Amino acid sequence: MIREIIFKDNIIQYNLQYKNVKNINMRIKPDGSINVSANRRVSQKVIDDFINSKADFILRALEKYKNRPIAEQKQYYTEDEVKELIILLCNKAYPYYETRGIRYPEIKFRKMVSRWGSCHSQNGILTFNMNLMYAPMECIEYVVWHEFTHFLQPNHSSKFYDELAKVYPNWNECRKKLKDINIR
């Protein structure tokens, strides 16, 4: 459902979807669209108030995207190739984590909208985004090391990044490259 609010003479239009979520979630896409998801029990007034509270941020983000040229995404791999590559990279990364007492995880693949991978450390599952086929090899490698590191540090604390830097020193450079890839 399309909703809009007026903030300082600006109309902010957003697409509202009701989902089984705990919080109000907002995503601003490079094409300028704004998607909001909220639980059905949250009133539209509360959601509009949330958008209004974020209006300055939204307008800055929209301005940033308006001035950024939209590059066509280069596809580096097919879906089969990226799956095969990720499995090879997992096999390459695993010996380090095996010495730290980590069991080899179950590897899954799916298309995701807002993340490149996820780690469910308690269940021993790593899930990778199929859209990694639009990422260069070093970025895919970074995502694999990143997700494996979550078995040692389940959050994004400074300890996590210290641990990641031991095995993938140029992680920050790769993370910046991934932010320029539009997977939405």
Express each pLDDT in 76-123 by its tens digit: 999 999 999 999 999 999 999 999 999 999 999 999 888 999 999 999
Q: Which of 7, 21, 10 minimizes the C-alpha distance to 50?
A: 7
Q: Stretch 57-79: mean pLDDT, rounded?
A: 82
- How far apart CA 112 and CA 120 sit, in angstroms, is 15
Question: Mutual orientation of helices 158-167 and 137-149 as an angle, nearest 10°?
Answer: 130
Looking at residue 65, its pLDDT comes to 77
| Mean of pLDDT over the chain | 92
Eight-class DSSP state of 24: -
Report the DSSP beta bridge partners of residue 108.
127
The tokens describing 141, both together, are 């490698």
Which residue did the predictor score with more confidence, 25 or 73?
A: 25
The Cα–Cα gap between 157 and 21 comes to: 24
The residue that leads in pLDDT, 113 or 183, is 113
Rounded to an integer, the average pLDDT of 159-174 is 96
Q: Note the pLDDT of residue 72.
A: 66
DSSP-assigned states of every residue in 137-159? HHHHHHHHHHHHHTTT-SS-SHH
Q: Alpha helices, DSSP H only, in the chain?
A: 44-53, 55-67, 79-98, 137-149, 158-167, 171-179
Query: Residue 71: is its pLDDT beyond 90?
Result: no
What's the pLDDT at 73? 77
Where residue 68 falls among pLDDT bands split at 50, 70, 90?
low
pLDDT value for 63: 87
Between 182 and 118, the higher pLDDT residue: 118
